[in-house]
Structure 1
């Protein structure tokens, strides 16, 4: 789309769960990139890492599976090296995002934006600089 490119990375094979078969894609625009991981969990993450490795590097990570404990491993964070993370979550019975996932992100120095706390999140870039705006300004 113009200078922007969407690269579909997964699903790589037919896995046993709907979550593991989520669409994963990477948006690339000039120097900016964002990795969208759907609801993938451990098995799909490992497959992505095995095939793409460091090419998963992105400025923004849309955190897999709403920040569940079974997603966003240290290995994924080391490959992606995001500056920002976006977690789409709200009140639910699973209490997402999980504290261990938030801690992993913080330990990797990632700035976290959450729809349950920030409301809507808008990411604007000219391909070099990126600004993130939230519905509630936090």
Structure 2
């Protein structure tokens, strides 16, 4: 019995050693699979590009080999966006998000769809009867893409990077919920989580939608980076909302000398006391932020 007992212990030790050996070397043997893939992607910085498209919005998120574009400026900015993405080495977009159907957000996306492979397209479920909106729908159809209309809580993965966008507002039938006459209230609001950091992309959302987010998703509002809503208009960026987000960095996208008088001074009055570093595309050009190891920095 004693000899048999020792023999069993030897067999068990050999099995445990073989298991430990396979665990140690499996990532090296399979660099594109399983845990090794998630580890390598988490080590890569995520970059946020707030592209200078004049009076409009266009934001590029790059996580390693994966990329998502949020809005594309006016139609006249389409070539600017396409050229910028090309210079970043982008050949394929994992997703494009059109926050709402105003021309200064969706116009350039027609050129983007023509120039790049787009794997998924997300948009507000509300439509506008405009030429540029029809052109966008035609471009989506020509690419053979079935557009998706995300709801609150839906998650948009950014490739296999582990980064994700979570939809915070406005929910389905936003025209009935907020305003049939103000497409800004239909803007998709998305929170990015990547590399231990977070960013809030707000489109042209309004104070009414902000108020609802303060009530429904308060725990998801605090973020490191804020894309200031509606080019710094006083119709958004309420004091309570800005304080809830409390961003370390904020970016305002607009054209110098625009006819709307944007951005309004209230936005700065709310952000500056928080110690937020504020960047403006009209003054700073395209702004690029790096997210890595839980820290945000301005790209060199």
The verdict on a shared fold, with TM-score over 0.5 as the criterion, is yes
Contact 1:55–1:79 (CA under 8 A) maintained in structure 2: no
Task: Please identify, of 61-70 and 99-108, the stretch whose mean Cα deviation from structure 2 is larger.
Answer: 99-108
| Alignment match, 2:168 | 9
Task: Please identify, of 67-76 and 123-132, the stretch whose mean Cα deviation from structure 2 is larger.
Answer: 123-132
Tell me the alpha carbon deviations over residues 44-82 of structure 1, each in whole angstroms, 9 at most, x when there is no partner: 111111111132110001001100112111111221111
Contact 1:57–1:80 (CA under 8 A) maintained in structure 2: yes
Contact 1:29–1:127 (CA under 8 A) maintained in structure 2: no
- Give distance in 1, aligned partners of 2:163 and 2:293: 9
Tell me the alpha carbon deviations over residues 94-128 of structure 1, each in whole angstroms, 9 at most, x when there is no partner: 11111121111112221101001100001112242
1:36 to 184, 201, 208: 201
In the superposition, the TM-score normalised over structure 1's length comes to 0.90
2:234 to 55, 69, 87: 69
SS for the counterpart of 1:82 is: coil
| Number of equivalent positions | 134
Task: Please identify, of 18-27 and 98-107, the stretch whose mean Cα deviation from structure 2 is larger.
Answer: 98-107
Contact 2:243–2:270 (CA under 8 A) maintained in structure 1: no
| Alignment match, 1:27 | 192
1:41-56 → structure 2 map (5 Å cutoff) = 41-56=206-221
| Alignment match, 1:126 | 292
- Give distance in 2, aligned partners of 1:8 and 1:108: 25
**Which structure has greater helix proportion?**
2
- Give distance in 1, aligned partners of 2:245 and 2:234: 18
Task: Please identify, of 76-85 and 11-20, the stretch whose mean Cα deviation from structure 2 is larger.
Answer: 11-20
- Give distance in 2, aligned partners of 1:66 and 1:80: 17
Q: Does 2:278 correspond to 1:112?
A: yes
How large is the RMSD of aligned CA atoms in angstroms?
1.4
SS for the counterpart of 2:223 is: coil
Contact 1:77–1:108 (CA under 8 A) maintained in structure 2: no
List runs of 5+ in structure 1 lacking aligned partners.
none
| Alignment match, 1:59 | 224
- Give distance in 2, aligned partners of 1:116 and 1:122: 14
Query: Which of 1 and 2 has greater Rg?
Result: 2
1:101 to 267, 287, 291: 267
